[in-house]
Structure 1
């Protein structure tokens, strides 16, 4: 096999339906990479087009496509992909306890899928064996061998995929059009498959899968926040329009992972007030101009009560409303107004 001089072949890893995979060294950047040689034919050309779209994706939760090259072997010229080498293990069914780390795993998968869908790609084969975790704890979605562009080539004449992860609409005998909601369905099945007991409602393991009853997943996901369970049930709907966007799932998981991790600071009358998980209430009064009481519920900073004239960023706020994470509170009107800054730290979910 003759490669461009930049790459040095290390060893073969696997051979699959779409080609062979090798470990290589990128001598320009001194890093290990994966070389995927595509077999000739129409399917390889289609896959190459799909992979080019991945050049636009910049997500730490999606395997990166670095280069598209030509190689020579036995007098023939083939196309090949240079992909990110992930030094880590593949996710396996039953590898997760139902705890915060489980939510973080689902969040990372949802982040990767959000980036994929935002780039107009349908992955089409989301499952644990197509997700690896690197040495830094980052989850990476890989294997785009079945991927399609949304709206252009999203159709099939045969049921293609991994049976238990395939959405019910893919089991039709006639020509089937699909969209990225099939990845959302597979995401929910993956969530069930990853938990330690691997218990999944029997109706979902049928070919084709049946419907689950509202609330049925409560038994299988005890201890997980109810709104997340509800979203996963919606992901499994046979009505594709009722499946949530993966970005909604990502945001909901992010919200729970940041529970009780925010801090807010206010400075008034020379005093500093801090709201956090250990100090959840504050009451600020500025002379006779106005008074406001704020509560931190672990997710947001909620106005409990107020009197006088108090606005946030020059807008009236209602009791029960969440304050913006950074705003200016104004007490009073006209020339007698007083201002207080309300600043909230913005923690991030880290793998």
Structure 2
């Protein structure tokens, strides 16, 4: 019996998408003929252009309503798109905060005017969004944030500091959490969510250079930054609901199930004969392949569950935890058994379409921290699935 991912409709959708990728991927993509971009700014320009190509082809916002520029399909088609995108290693979604997190959140919480203003521009790549959640003293304990929003006439004034804000130096907009009421017995009360233009007066971005040479993360400083009343998303003081929805969609988007399946298969293919003849290495590599396949099946089940319920649940935490830690295990084995020439290479930003095991190793640590650490995901699973007492970090 065929499931939804391999039924007649899914196969037809997959064929159409594969042909589109064949016709539209940049010339030389995934080969040495596609030269790395000169710098991060050039890479971002290229990726914005690619997002526009997706939009023009009808492949952006696949599960979004057509009235806001989407395809009007379901999460099933969206998941098939992700699977096929990872199969061909298509260009990275530079607007992932907007396309996979802010957009779905706005569809739930945004006003009609906010949806009209923001959603289509997310899909075309005109607006890149960043996520202003974490602070120096509020990471896993997000409810401890101190950035404040003070009412100012018909609008608000924002003051505070955010950190680990991905690609803020390239962003046009930020989804920001700020405190509009004093902290009481329940810290997450009194938090509000805002849509903040990144070119506002009093807003400063400072990129943080990483070990891999890129500056993916930034600090953001807000000094009495003015925003209009309609920048508020949802009701004042009820931004925690907005935050949880955004984070749930982030975990759903960062469940790298199909990518892990490809990475495990790539490791198996690259194993030299002497390594494959080693019983321990062979057992570990095949075990990773099996785990990656199981992760893909779990992701398919999660897609069906989210489609049926209309919201992302605790499955996203389990999926994110499993696949990000699986990624570390795959890379650890690759670095220990593959020949040096297959592992070592120049680690530089902008070299897309090919696999760099050193970059995968570096990014593996980041992936278990972003969107909530592995410890936070275990807390969520323990409390909501196993019924254990609440943990400390939120």
> Normalised by the size of structure 1, how large is the TM-score?
0.26
- Structure with the larger helix share: 2
Rg larger for = 1
Q: Which has the higher contact order (CA 8 A, sep 6+)?
A: 2
- Structure with the larger strand share: 1
